[in-house]
Amino acid sequence: MPPHSVPDTRSETPAIPAELERPQLLEMYRYLRLTRVLEERLVALYRQSKVIGGLFRSLGQEGESVASAYALERGRHRDILSPLIRNLGSMLVMGARPIEILRQYMAKAEGPTGGRELNVHFNDLEKGYLGQISHLGDMVPVMAGITLTFKMRGEPRVGLVYVGDGATSTGSFHEGLNFAAVQRCPLVVIAEYNHWAYSTPPEKQFAVKDLADKAKGYGVHAVTVDGNDVLAVYAATRYAVERARRGKGVHFIEVKTYRRKGHAEHDDQSYQPKDEIERWAVENDPVDRYVKQLVANGWAEESELAEIDQAAKDEIDQATDACVNDPLPQPETALPGVYAHPPAAERLWFRGL
Amino acid sequence: MARVDVLMPQMGESIAEGTLSKWLKKLGDDVKRDEPLFEISTDKVDAEIPAPTAGTLVEIKVQEGQTVPVQTLVAVLETEKGAAASAPAPAAAPPAPKAEPAQAAKPAPAAPVPAAAVTAPVPRPLSPVPQSSSVPPKGDGAETAEERLRRRSTPLVRKIASEHQLDISQISGTGFAGRVTKQDILGFIERAPAAAAAPTPGTRPPAPGVEHPAVEAWPGDRVEPWSKIRRITADHMIMSRRVSAHVASFFEIDYTKVALLRARFKAAYAERGVNLTYLAFIAKACAANMRKHPVINAAVSGDSTIYRRDVNIGIAVALDWGLIVPVVKHADELSLLGLARAINDLGERARTKRLSPDDIQRGTFTITNPGGFGPYAGIPIINQPQVAILGVGTIEKRPKVVTQDGSDAIAIRTMGMLTMSYDHRVVDGADADRYLADVKAMLQDFPEQEM
Amino acid sequence: MAEVTFLEALRQGLSEEMERDERVFMLGEDIGAYGGAFKVTDGFQKKFGAARVIDTPISEAAIVGAAAGAAHMGMRPVAEMQFIDFISCAYDMLTNYVATARYRAGLATPIVVRGPCGGYVRGGPFHSQNPEAAFLHTPGLKIVYPATARDAKGLIKASIRDDDPVLYLEHKWLYRRIKENLPEGEEILTPIGQARIAREGKDLSIITYGATVWKALEAADQLAQDGPSVEVLDLRTLLPLDDDAIVTTVKKTGKVLIVHEDTRTGGLAGEITARINERAFEWLDGPIMRVTAHDVPLPYAPTLEDYVLPQTEDIVKAARWLAKY
């Protein structure tokens, strides 16, 4: 069972749960705020046609992205996670920089993939994140393979992979989770029950009540957690990660949360009841709840949080200014890098006419 | 101060237009960065569009209720900061095409030496051309696939025929439908070297019985038997001088104006993929004046003169393996640009062995241009069955006497000789000189509207 | 020198690479304890240990996906499809994830996916396939298909050492029918992307790969008596195609017959024909023809399978027809 926070009645300030220190609480807050501000900037850029292609917000889910990633051992050549499009927060935690994300979204030549992929589909394996491809569920087998090598080499490293409630329907999810379970890979699976897979609600997606029920079918340790309780998610992930690191195999954490925006920015969410969205926004926003918790428990001052807010805005402004006018890639840069050898694809004859 | 454009955004891949439903600011209002500026509605979603920078709304291009395509300019903001881009920076101009062309139709240079004659297998009754025949009848359907096959054979056989200036339909074939095969045509060439050119209209007349006397080789000498194309050329040269009464006229041309026009227009022509040469100007002057002097564009047949209807100018090209004269058909109907392009193209295809038999037939006049390292003037041999050939002497700066306001001075001009060899059986001296005088006049004062 | 079968040569190649490079490991169904459905990996688990010869669940997508993840981390996995017919279950992982990884994400993914392919064995539609055409239009993937024992060994070694993902197709009919003397103690490596002249000739070129190389050679022998002199080009690598070798043989003979065991429509012969058309049109003395399987799912009964698939006699007749064109 994950540890609970037991209020210390002897002192005025309750003890911070899950062995966290105050600076860490503030650091997590910074990542939450940065995620939200960056996404709002991305929306503005999208509406100015600077972000091309789709934009997928994680509004309402930032808590579980940041908190789960924060529970990993970060740094070069340590733990590795594989984010989905709504896990921007987790990438920031692992060291992705806002300017990289902006450049990637705006298809800039200097972006992490040179304009070849969109959204947050990019990676830095040394820092510890492996961007997804659009085929949901595919990252589970891949992370099974990555964590298999940790085991083969006897390294105390752990992998973490996110899946949405829709992704748990795919064949790749099933095969990957089964494979990892059988091989006892050090893999933590965060299943984000956010109620909506595009326009498909849970009752049309699966016949179980909780995603954790599915996981039991694979013989893996599974729990369900309030996804909008930052510290609860952190504690549960920390627990699972440490067990996996000790060789206890795959762990499955279902986080209950809610997708407050449409599938993408061009989706008007007409299938989502407006009052439902409203209720989650008002009563159950992960960032608001965290702020209340920090302040109420005396773990942070409002002024500190306001400073962090401002710093986040400034950081995003600077990052945007630094790259918004950068050029798009030169056309012929489309040809190299398909193989290690030969170095570039052939330019076709009619382009030379 | 800088002006920043605000565009109708694209909200979703398949969205092509948006309606501006409401302005949230008015002209002259100041806006903060990301502050909502106007509302749009599309098929998928309604949205507030934020200002890309802080600034003042100075222009409104789209009114409430108007529907415009995505990326249309909707408004202009004026900002304090300098150098805010007006639109997402476009990709820098693509680099000049690199040297590496794709491996398109670029046949290897060396033509295969014809193999020793292969005894073809005894042709058995051929199975019919299969349903999915690769030789579909073309055009009006009057010609069947078999007929076409008989006349045109395959790319390889056509190539060999073109190199040796043979008419495929004159050779007997052992392939499908009587098709001339590779073995058939190679065998033909092996067996009949002297009669290589079949006497069909448009090709050169045969050179029957041309004998080149034998000469003793001394020790250490290298004896090289002639290639087919050398043989054909040698026979033709002898025959031509025997048949025509060769006379030559020399005209000195002041190309200074042409040089100036060439310098001025070279880049513009190059942008259209055309190398503008002196030869193009000369060919233009020759073509333009031909109809005034029809005897220059004629042929002698028995005791008649054939005045040709078309002006088809051949441009002699010297290749490593011999001389070939591809023809610009209807040269008088082409502009200078068209003529220059045709000359470039024929030269390129001659060098890469991609001329068709049609390209080297039915010439009515020939120009031979040795180029930069050629002689001051030469005396070319007429290309039978034509009656005139123009040789271009080297073009360079020379001193010349010019008269200005009554007084003489030495000026530096771009000069060159033109030599026309002509057949005095039908072209008299006056005919030749009048023609050349017209050509000279046009070149010396080349009309700019022809550019 | 020792005489080895195609399968033994393949086994040697795998074993040598496993010994040479500890990053190489294998995963697949029944390859460990059982030694593989065709015994290719017989004795491997004992020799290299269960950590390097992994028995997996029936999960082709997971097998390929896990191989990809391991490759990102610097390993050199060899993933087996028990019958290559099941590679379609991993189509998504192989084409969308693996083949694109370097291009879109700078991620090296040097995996080998191998499996027994081909017919003439009365295996029916799901144990006889030649899937190469389905993967031909996948930039980022390489495809190899050896015909000889030497190349079975040389190509598996080269594939494992190649820094790009390789689909290695091993013909089950050739496994035990082809024997060759291979030198011992010599490193046998076949370069990827290089075709081989299996037989020289002057009048007509047969361009082929896999089991039909042997049928083409048989046909060429028969024709040598009284028919055209046939040159046989064994492609060995299907992606990337050896354009130069193809053009050279076309220019030499002027007549081309493309032979493959895969079905006609959408098969490699179409692609090769288009390339010959682009690069050597002027040298053609007849249409480019092909001898392939009929466009039907492969049936089981011997009379039916033999009718559907190309046979030596078909090649002989086609070559004669084309030679006379």
Q: Kindly report, residue by residue over B349-366, the tens digit of the pLDDT.
A: 888 888 887 888 899 999
Q: What is the pLDDT of residue B409?
A: 94
Q: What is the pLDDT of residues B89-109, one digit of tens each?
A: 433 333 333 433 333 333 333
Instruction: For chain A, give every domain's residue range.
Output: 24-352
Q: Measured between alpha carbons, how far is B366 from C37 in angstroms, rounded to an integer?
A: 77
Chains in contact with C, where contact means 3 or more Cβ–Cβ distances below 8 Å, are: A, B
**Which CATH number belongs to the domain containing residue C203 in this structure?**
3.40.50.920
User: Is the same domain home to C259 and C164?
Assistant: no
pLDDT at residue number A265: 86
Check CB contact of A13 with chain B, cutoff 8 Å: no
pTM for the complete prediction?
A: 0.68
Interface test with A, best of B10, B17, B70 (most A CBs within 10 A): B10
Nearest CB partner across the interface for C97, out of A117, A142, A338: A142
- In tens, the pLDDT along C80-89 reads 999 999 999 9
Q: Which CATH number does the domain A24-352 belong to among 1.10.3720.10, 3.40.190.10, 3.40.50.970, 3.40.50.1820?
A: 3.40.50.970
Shortest Cα distance, chain B CAs vs residue A267, angstroms: 6
pLDDT value for B303? 85
Q: What is the dihedral of CA B230, B233, B235, B240, to 10 degrees?
A: -170
Chain B residues within an 8 Å CB radius of C254: 154, 156, 182
DSSP characters for B27-39?
TT-EE-TT-EEEE
> Does the residue C190 lie in any domain?
no
C-alpha to C-alpha distance for C230 and C233, rounded to whole angstroms: 10
pLDDT of residue B96: 37
For chain B, say whether A268 makes contact (Cβ under 8 Å).
yes
Measured distance CA(B366)–CA(B88) in Å, rounded: 57
Mean predicted confidence (pLDDT) in B23-46: 88
Q: Nearest Cα to B420, choosing from B330, B285, B305, B319?
A: B285
pLDDT at B118 over 80: no
Contact C284 B154 (CB under 8 A): yes
Find the CATH number of the domain harbouring C164.
3.40.50.970
**Structure-token pair, residue C243:** 């354009």
Residues 6+ apart with CB under 8 A from C9: C149, C150, C152, C153, C180, C182
Q: Is A289 helix (H, G, I), strand (E, B) or coil?
A: helix
**Distance spanning both ends of chain C, measured CA to CA:** 45
Roughly what angle, to the nearest 10 degrees, separates helices A171-183 and A139-153?
10
Structure tokens at C265: 């429509």
Print burial letters for A300-309: b (CB count within 10 Å at least 16), e (below 16): beeeebeebb
Pick the residue with more confidence: C137 or B190? C137
Confidence band, pLDDT 50/70/90 cuts, at residue B82: low
C144 domain-assigned: yes
Residue C264 lies inside a defined structural domain of this protein: yes
Q: What is the pLDDT of residue B81?
A: 61
Beta carbons of C72 and A172 less than 8 Å apart: no
Residues of chain B with C-beta less than 8 angstroms from the C-beta of C284: 154-156
**Active-site residue, B254 included:** no
Q: Do C282 and B159 touch (CB under 8 A)?
A: yes
- Check pLDDT > 60 for residue B85: no
Residues of chain A positioned with their CB less than 8 A from the CB of B50? 44, 47-48
- If asked whether residues C107 and C175 sit together in one domain, one would say yes
Domain coordinates in residue numbering, chain B? 2-79, 142-210+225-243, 247-450
Residues B390-419, mean pLDDT to the nearest whole number: 94
* Distance between CA atoms of residues A146 and C72, nearest Å: 7
CATH class of this structure's domain B2-79: mainly beta
- Tell me, rounded to whole angstroms, the distance of Cα B61 from its chain centroid: 48
- Contacts of A230 by beta carbon, 8 Å cutoff, 6+ apart: A28, A32, A63, A66, A67, A286, A289, A290, A293
Q: Per-residue confidence of chain A (353 residues) as pLDDT tens digits?
A: 455 555 555 557 889 999 999 999 999 999 999 999 999 999 999 999 899 878 999 999 999 999 999 999 999 999 999 999 999 999 999 999 999 999 999 999 999 999 999 889 999 999 999 999 999 999 999 999 999 999 999 999 999 999 999 999 999 999 999 999 999 999 999 999 999 998 899 999 999 999 999 999 999 999 999 999 999 999 999 999 999 999 999 999 999 999 999 998 888 888 999 999 999 999 999 999 999 999 999 999 999 999 999 999 999 999 999 999 999 999 889 999 999 999 999 988 888 77
Which residues in chain C are contacts of A152 at CB distance < 8 A?
25, 51, 70, 75
Residues in Cβ contact with C269 at an 8 Å cutoff, skipping those fewer than 6 apart: C258, C259, C260, C290, C292
Instruction: Select from C152, C182, C212 the last residue of a domain.
Output: C182
Residue B144 pLDDT exceeds 90: no
Instruction: Check CB contact under 8 Å for A50 and B88.
Output: yes
Domain-terminating residue out of C124, C149, C182? C182
Query: Burial letters for C165-180: b for 16+ Cβ neighbours within 10 Å, e otherwise?
Result: bbbbbbbbbbbeebeb
What does the alpha-carbon distance between residue B162 and residue B185 come to, in Å, rounded to a whole number? 11
Nearest CB to C283; choose among B123, B156, B354: B156
CA of C107 vs chain A CAs: smallest distance (Å): 9
Shared domain for C235 and C313, answered yes or no, is yes
**3-class DSSP state for residue A240?**
helix
Task: Tell me which of A37, A48, A56, A313 to substitute to probe the interface with B (most B C-beta atoms closer than 10 Å).
Answer: A48
- CB-based contact, B181 to chain C, within 8 Å: yes
- Tens digit of each residue's pLDDT (9 = 90 or more) over B191-232: 875 544 444 444 455 555 577 888 888 888 888 888 777 888
**Residue C100 and residue C144 share a domain:** yes
The whole-angstrom distance between B202's CA and the closest CA on chain C is 24
| C162 close contact with A: CB closer than 8 A | yes
Q: Is C185 on the interface with A (CB under 8 A)?
A: no
Tell me the average pLDDT across B246-251: 96
pLDDT digits (tens, 9 = 90+) for A180-196: 999 999 999 999 999 99
Q: Which of C182, C208, C230 is the last residue of a domain?
A: C182
Our count of domains for chain C comes to 2
Instruction: State yes or no: pLDDT of B88 exceeds 90.
Output: no
Based on the fold, state whether residues C207 and C286 are members of the same structural domain: yes
Nearest CB to C282; choose among B123, B155, B182: B155
The residue range of the domain holding C138 is: 2-182
pLDDT at B114 (0 to 100): 33
The yes-or-no answer on residue B330 being catalytic is no
Average pLDDT over chain C, rounded to an integer: 96
Whether the per-residue pLDDT at B167 is higher than 80: the answer is yes
| C12-38 pLDDT tens trace | 999 999 999 999 999 999 999 999 999
The answer, for A274 touching chain B at a CB cutoff of 8 Å, is: no
Whether residues C176 and C48 share a domain: the answer is yes
Q: Is A121's CB within 8 Å of C77's CB?
A: no
Nearest alpha-carbon partner for C292 in C161, C180, C132:
C132
Q: Which of C227, C282, C323 is closest, CB to CB, to B156?
A: C282
Using an 8 Å CB-CB cutoff, list chain C residues near A117.
104-105
The predicted structure's pLDDT at residue B207: 55
Q: How far is A325 from chain C (nearest CA, A)?
A: 23
The answer to whether residue C15 is domain-embedded is yes
The interface residues of chain A toward chain B in range 224-263, judged by CB-CB distance below 8 A, are: 262
Contact B88 A46 (CB under 8 A): no
- Work out the average pLDDT over C30-47: 95
Q: Give CATH superfamily name and number for B247-450.
A: Chloramphenicol acetyltransferase-like domain (3.30.559.10)
Amino acid B356: pLDDT: 81
- Which sequence positions of A are flagged as catalytic? 259, 263, 271
Report pLDDT digits (tens) over C214-256.
999 999 999 999 999 999 999 999 999 999 999 999 999 999 9
Q: Check B30, B34, B43, B428 and give the catalytic one.
A: B428
Distance CA B78, CA B327 (A): 62
Chain A residue at shortest CA distance from C240: A342
Residue C191 lies in a domain: no
Q: What is the mean pLDDT of residues B168-184?
A: 87
Best of C29, C73, C92 to mutate (most A CBs within 10 Å, chain A):
C73
| pLDDT of residue B376 exceeding 90 | yes
Residue B239 C-alpha, separation from nearest chain A C-alpha, in angstroms? 43
